[in-house]
Each structure stands twice: as C-alpha cells, then as structure tokens.
Amino acid sequence: RHALRTLPDRIAMPEAQSIVLPELSCAADVVRHHARVRPGAVALVFQEEQITYAELDALSSQCAQALIAAGVKPGERIGTLARGNADFFVLWFGCLKAGACLNPVNWRLAPPEVAFILKDAGCRLIVVAAEYAGMIGGLSEELPDLSTRIQFEPGHPSWPGFRDWIGAHPAVDPQRPARADDDVIQLYTSGTTGLPKGVQLTEANYAACFRSASTAWALIEPDDAVLVCMPLFHVAGANLGMLGLLMGGRCIIMREVDVGLMLRLFGEHGVRHAFLAPAIINMVLQHPEQAQADLSQLDYVYYGASPISEEVLTRAQARFGSRFMQLYGLTETIGGGCYLPPEAHDAALGKLRSCGRPSPGYEIRVRIAGRDAEVGEVGEIEIRSEGIMKGYWNRPDATAQSIDAEGWFRSGDAGFFDSDGYLFIHDRVKDMIVTGGENVYPAEVENALMSHPAVADAAVIGVPDDRWGEAVKAIVVLRPGAAQDSEGVIAHCRTLIAGYKIPKTVDFIEVLPRNPSGKVLRRELREPYWQGRERRVG
C-alpha cells in the first residue's frame, strides 16, 4: 500500500527521462547488440587500453570457447580474484555466452575466507590478478578441485595469461541458450554476521534490473563516459558497468578507489555518470586537489550503499554542481529498491535524508510485529520484485528465512515511510541501540555529528551501561587541525536531537573501519566494549 501512495507532483520524476532499451533475450545480448549496431564505439577504458564493442564481443566469444574447451558446464561457477580491470567484463560475458556463472571474490579477504568462498561455490577454474597468484597457489591443499588457474597478466611461470589462454580459441559465439532462472553472477555477502552467503542473481533478475534502472535513474546515453570505481565483486560496481554497457556507454574502469586519480579522470574523459559511496564523496570533498578538478561534465552522481549525512550531501551538491540520485537496495535485490531523484534533492522539501520512493517494478513495505507499520513508525523494510535473488547458494534454510511464501524479502534494515510515501532508512535492525527502553538508530545521531565543523567522519555504537543497558557512544574522525573537544561535540548534538539520543561519550580515532561498500563495521568498533558481555539488540 505504501508503494502505491500518490506522491506530491512537486517531487515527481519526469517520465520522459526514461531510456529506450535494445531488445534483448539475455544478458549476453548486451555485447552482441552493440557489436552489431555500433562496433567501433569504445566500450571499456582501463588505464591505457581501449576496447571497442566489436572487440569485447570477439574477446568474450573466445573466452566462452576457452571455458567450454576446459570442460566448464552450464551453471558452473567460475572464480575471479582481482581488482578492477577491463578483462573482468571479457570474462563475465564469456561466462554468459558459455552458460557459466561468474563468481567474483572480495580481494580484501584473508586467505581462509577466500578459500571458503571458492570451495562453497565449487569453483574448478579461477582467473586471478598477479598480486593474488601467490595466495591462490598457497591454497592448493584447501582447494584440491581448483584445477585450472589463469592469471590476468602474462608472465606466471606455470599458469597461462588470460589473453593468451583465450587467444588460442576462435572468436565464435557458442550461442548457448539462456533461461530465465540461469544464474548470471554469484556475489557473496560481506559476512559481517557469520559466514558469507552466495547470492544467486539470474537472467530474470537482470531483466528486471534493466527495466527498472532505465525507467528510473540510469539515464545513460550512447558514448556517455561512465566511471566505474566501486569494486567489481560488489553489486554497485558490477551493475554500473553492466548498465553502462547495456546503454552503449563508455565505461572507465578504475583498479580501485584513488581519489586523486578519480579527480583527474573526471576531466580527462569527460565523465558524465559516476556511482560514489558516501565515504568516497566525503573523501573527494576533503581532497587537496578537488578545488582544481574539472567536474564540468559530471551530470549524474549516484550514491548509496551506506548512510550519508545532510552536511556531506549539501556540500557535495554545491561543489559538484551535478544531479544527485540516491539509490537504496541490497545485493539480494540486485541493488534495486528505492531511488531519490534530483528533483527531491532540495533541502526545503525535507527529503534529503530519505532514500526516496520505490523504484519501478519494486514493492516496499515496513513491518513491525507482523503488521504493516503506520506512517512514521519504524520497522523492518521488506521488498518484493522480480529483481529479488533466486536464493542463497546451497543455503535453503537461510533463503527460506529471508524470503517468505509471498516473495517478500526481509532486508534487515530499519526504516519508516513519511506521509508522502518516501522511505527513510534508520540503520540495520541489528545496529539499533536500546538505551533505557528507547530505540536509537545510529544514522540519526551520525547526521547530527557530521554537521559539527570539526568532524570529518563519525560512527555511533551502543556500549554497555549498568543503568540504561546501553549508552550511546560516538567515534569521531576529526578534520585536519581540529582539536579534540568531547564536550563541544556533545553540546552540538544537544541542539539537534533528543536527549536520550545524545552521545554520552566521544572517542577520537584516525579512520573508521569500513567494508568495501563503505558501510562502517560497527561490530569491530563495538567489540572492545562488549568483551565478556552479551549484547541483546535486534
């Protein structure tokens, strides 16, 4: 019922801005279509190399033939462990043409974590970057079935280089048929609460993603430069690259987030579209080169994956001069859920802290104690769409716990709808702080902290308190040259939020621990305070 609420015309997204998509029968048709209609257009740029759509089509066909020759069967998982590079997309489209499923692994993980994912996915073949070859080589005993190992770069003493390996095969598209429930990519959850789970995203999921994004927010025109800086093992990075290619864009691939390089790429390539996690936006604003950077072509900045404060968002809008789009979704929803259009990014409308309204093709409800929440009442956000994952790989019980019989996915996020039908995210349900019987959501307190002129970054956690059960603690990163002033920070919050939400104490650190998508790892921050005690929250 919330998803269908009539919204104020003053904030409505103009329907005329939607993009007309090519007719596709499967995800592999993305590269086939553009190779046919605009073969010489540049598809990928990575460092000094440019790859046209015709070249991407041919290389991915060679890759598909190499996979098939290696004995890869339809539905088999193909591992990859590397930072950003153009050959990731050659490999991905090669997998799609061969009927296989790409399984990217987070390159920040420790060897035992990498081994767990590759074993869980049943990978027999992996393509790795040279910097991780030693790690994979050292996991031979843990991964006896990982029999085929290829290195993206040439030069390994016993493994073939990726381009040499695929170059031994003809550029003939095998044209293996694709079904709606075939898995396109398997992305693993961060594992901040237990072992990582493989999220199965299918052809049907990507079809839903393509329809929704092109109608709502991904307004990419052919030849537009699209900056892909988020990790490619993350749904934001993989999907922006795929959507950029779907719409005929020129995808500028970054190896990893390097703010100085990013600022130069904006001007050198005339970047028009970029997805930047809030932490990256904040880093850009504080970078010494940002004042001289050429952002004149940057038309759309998409942001999401973690909360953003009004202070950072307002400063970013003023500096970038771009149209900002907030996106809310999860890996399990193929990144889809809600979007906040540029028209709503006017502080006077009171929607800056909202993640927007449901995206086309997505239904959203807020549930509490088995019922729909009232307007303004905080509960757990649930999402239903054709974009919802098939399930967690080999985890039927976890899948059943997350998706009910009617197809509603439990997000684990806490939020509420306002009277206009806009969704506001508080935090993860498990991160809620209960102090004296009152619920406190960290994002609300962090928003107040971030408006303090001395605060560069902040996180809020609950710590044990014998009287109140939990007490609110702020962990603050100061701007360069700012002095530590706990009382001043607390006094500032007192003017903005209710008394029970105000931090009782403030600690100062150099940098906040974050996962690849930019989310603060609150569990790491909480751990020293909860040793030997049980936290009863969520």
In a domain, 205, yes or no: no
Q: Are 411 and 330 in contact (CB under 8 A)?
A: yes
In a domain, 142, yes or no: yes
According to DSSP, residue 500 is labeled G
Task: Give the three-class secondary structure for 44.
Answer: strand
Which bin fits 194, alpha (ψ -120 to 50), beta or left (φ > 0)?
Answer: left
In a domain, 496, yes or no: yes
In a domain, 390, yes or no: no
CA 179 to CA 176: how far, in whole Å?
Answer: 10
Which has the closest alpha carbon to 329: 225, 434, 201? 201
> Domain containing 38 — which CATH number?
3.40.50.12780
DSSP string, 54-98: HHHHHHHHHHHHHHHHTTPPTT-EEEEE-SS-THHHHHHHHHHHH
- Among candidate residues 178, 213, 241, the one where a domain is terminated: 178
pTM for this structure?
0.82
In a domain, 348, yes or no: no
**Burial grade of 511 (CB within 10 A; 0-12, 13-18, 19 or more):** exposed
Give me the tens of pLDDT residue by residue for the chain, a chain 538 residues long: 233 333 344 444 444 355 677 789 999 999 999 999 999 999 999 999 999 999 999 999 999 999 999 999 999 999 999 999 999 999 999 999 999 999 999 898 888 889 999 999 999 999 999 999 999 999 999 999 999 999 999 999 999 999 999 999 999 999 999 999 999 999 998 654 457 899 999 999 999 999 999 988 888 999 999 999 999 999 999 999 999 999 999 999 999 999 999 999 999 999 999 999 888 898 899 899 999 999 999 999 999 876 677 888 999 999 999 999 999 999 999 999 999 999 999 989 999 889 999 999 999 999 998 999 999 999 999 999 999 999 999 999 999 999 999 999 999 888 999 999 999 987 666 777 878 666 677 877 898 899 999 999 999 999 988 777 789 999 999 999 999 999 999 999 988 887 888 999 999 999 999 877 678 888 889 889 988 765 444 3
In a domain, 497, yes or no: yes
In a domain, 144, yes or no: yes
Task: Assign 3-class secondary structure to 116-183.
Answer: HHHHHHCCCEEEECHHHHHHHHCCCCCCCCCCEEEECCCCCCCCCEHHHHHHCCCCCCCCCCCCCCCE
- Among candidate residues 178, 208, 225, the one where a domain is terminated: 178
Number of domains within the chain: 2
> Domain containing 525 — which CATH number?
3.30.300.30
C-beta atoms surrounding 104 within 10 Å? 24
The range of the structural domain enclosing residue 512 comes to: 432-530
In a domain, 448, yes or no: yes
**What element of type H or E holds 193?**
none
- Among candidate residues 162, 178, 194, the one where a domain is terminated: 178
Tracing tokens 């002095």 back to the chain, one arrives at: 483
